[in-house]
Amino acid sequence: MPASPTRIVVDRAGLVRAAAQVPSPNCDERPEGTVITLLVVHCISLPPGHFGGPGIVELFTNRLDPAAHPYYPTVAKLKVSAHFLIRRDGALTQFVSCGRRAWHAGTSSWRGRAHCNDFSIGVELEGTDDLPYERAQYAMLARLTRALRHRYPIADAAGHRDIAPGRKTDPGPAFDWPRFRRLTGVEERS
């Protein structure tokens, strides 16, 4: 009989103890009194289209070596992070406490409200806009989303493309929003 998955719980400090903890400096305090109401789904791979390497963690912790790949000089100086990363095999890493503002959205707006970093949680899926995501990623994303909704009044989920149209395209057409909605009950609204 397979072992049951570790329970995903978001504690009062905004940490998920079931996730590997890799602190990122690319965050700050949320504005006083901010309520977390939005989940933003992203995708990333470093180098683009390559999975499993250290590039994402190095980028989010400001340790990406620009000489390690021809693409890296274009992103190595960025100061970005997400709250979570879900690898292709479903492994979960947390970079920023949910109580803090991760720098994942950039210039953004959702339902007439600017500065999405203030009131959202960012989850990166290891992938590309045009390659299907793995079953393990959807399963982990659903478990994480349910835990986040248990702790915070998250009512909406959107892709990076939805909060930064014309600037971002992720998680792309390969992301199965109907599947996500079936697994979580969170609606994608535009």
How many structural domains compose the chain?
1
Nearest Cα residue to 139 out of 62, 86, 78, 77: 86
The answer to whether position 8 is within a domain reads: no
The answer to whether position 110 is within a domain reads: yes
Evaluate the CA torsion angle 58, 96, 139, 156 in order and state its sign: negative
- The domain that holds 60 is classified in CATH as 3.40.80.10
Nearest Cα residue to 159 out of 119, 117, 189, 115: 189
The overall average pLDDT reported for the chain is 95
What is the C-alpha to C-alpha distance for residues 50 and 6, in angstroms, rounded to an integer? Answer: 28
The answer to whether position 6 is within a domain reads: no
Burial 155-171 (b: 16+ CB within 10 A, else e): ebbbbbbbbbeeebbbb
β-strand partners of 14: none
The answer to whether position 85 is within a domain reads: yes
- Written as six digits, the tokens of 6 are 């570790």
Residue 188 has pLDDT above 80, yes or no: no
The answer to whether position 3 is within a domain reads: no
Query: Which element (helix H / strand E) includes 126?
Result: strand 120-126
pLDDT tens-digit profile of 161-187?
Answer: 999 999 999 999 999 999 999 999 886
Tell me the pTM: 0.96
Examine residue 47 and say whether the peptide bond preceding it is cis (omega within 30 degrees of 0).
Answer: yes
Please give the span between the terminal C-alpha atoms of the chain, in angstroms, as a whole number: 42
β-strands 92-94, 20-21 pairing: parallel
The answer to whether position 135 is within a domain reads: yes
The answer to whether position 11 is within a domain reads: no
Contact (Cβ atoms closer than 8 angstroms) between residue 113 and residue 158: no
pLDDT tens-digit profile of 148-164?
Answer: 999 999 999 999 999 99
Structural domain span for residue 89: 20-188
The answer to whether position 9 is within a domain reads: no
**Residue-level pLDDT at 81:** 98
**Residue-level pLDDT at 1:** 46
What is the C-alpha to C-alpha distance for residues 125 and 151, in angstroms, rounded to an integer? Answer: 21
Active site residues: 124
Residue with tokens 């100061």: 79
